[in-house]
Amino acid sequence: MEKRPIGYQVYSAREEAEKDLDSVLASLKKMGYDGVEFAGFYGHTAQEVAELLKKHGLIAISSHVPFVSIEADMFGIIAYHQAIGCKYIAVPYLDETMRPGAAGFGHAIAVIHRFARLMKEAGMTLLYHNHDFEFVKLSDEYGLDFLYHAVPEDLLKTELDTCWVKYAGEDPAAYIRKYAGRCPIIHLKDYVGRKGEATPYALIGLDENEKKAVSSFEFRPVGHGCQDVESLLTAGIESGADWFIVEQDMSVGRTPLEAAEMSIETLKKLGLK
């Protein structure tokens, strides 16, 4: 298998990063990760983040920035990410009022289009990171595809989350190939279970009683769930992916960093690095 760099979404170890980002980055580098994707910076300035990345020899691959933050301060967000050497920013999530089929979806597309243009002018690239709620039909195609058709390929690239593609009932390897040449970063996320009465990401942070609706679902380290990981890697490499990023929204039975090590060991065994 062709080699590719491997990144880690720091959100997966968010409680640890909130306490000691320096230590988390050191642990990830020791495991063999080449870069990180952020979802917030835990109160650190851009200079502090840049210094930590340099200290540990890690690349700031990309960053998940809330839609409301993007809309409120496009230029400030671009400047911060330029300062840490981050080429990609991803729209990570849309609230219910902005999702495909909702009244605000058109507005969301317009904001994404404007921000993507500003990023391109700055020499950066905007990504859209999916969940499963984009897999509703609009004009005989999924909302996710509608978005990617609405915003030109030279402005908006994909960050396909393979967990949510599969959870929505589609083949994630086939979906990667569908966007060959437009998929610089792919999220590797594994799980066991099936759809429940509520989506697992919507229940993050709730107590155990509130999570019963999805008791049959559990996030797992890459290679320890239902995903055919080798097929995802092959599809990604053949489709031009530059990075594979490990993400695990919640870790059960082990710490997030223990899970991170299990995930990268799977990828090493499959020959990704």
Q: What is the pLDDT of residues 23-76, one digit of tens each?
A: 999 999 999 999 999 999 999 999 999 999 999 999 999 999 999 999 999 999
With bands split at pLDDT 50, 70 and 90, how would you rate the model's confidence at 200?
A: confident
Residue 139 has what pLDDT? 86
CATH architecture of 6-269: Alpha-Beta Barrel (3.20)
The rounded mean pLDDT for the chain is 94
Our CA dihedral for 14, 166, 68, 64, rounded to 10 degrees, sits at 40
* d(C-alpha 135, C-alpha 208), whole Å: 27
Instruction: Dump strand ranges (E) for 52-155.
Output: 59-64, 88-91, 125-129, 137-138, 141-142
Prediction pTM value: 0.94
Nearest Cα residue to 10 out of 48, 64, 85, 69: 64
Which residues are within 8 A (CB) of 146 and not within 5 positions of it... i.e. 6 or more apart? 100, 138, 139
Nearest Cα residue to 33 out of 263, 269, 211, 226: 263
With bands split at pLDDT 50, 70 and 90, how would you rate the model's confidence at 80?
A: very high
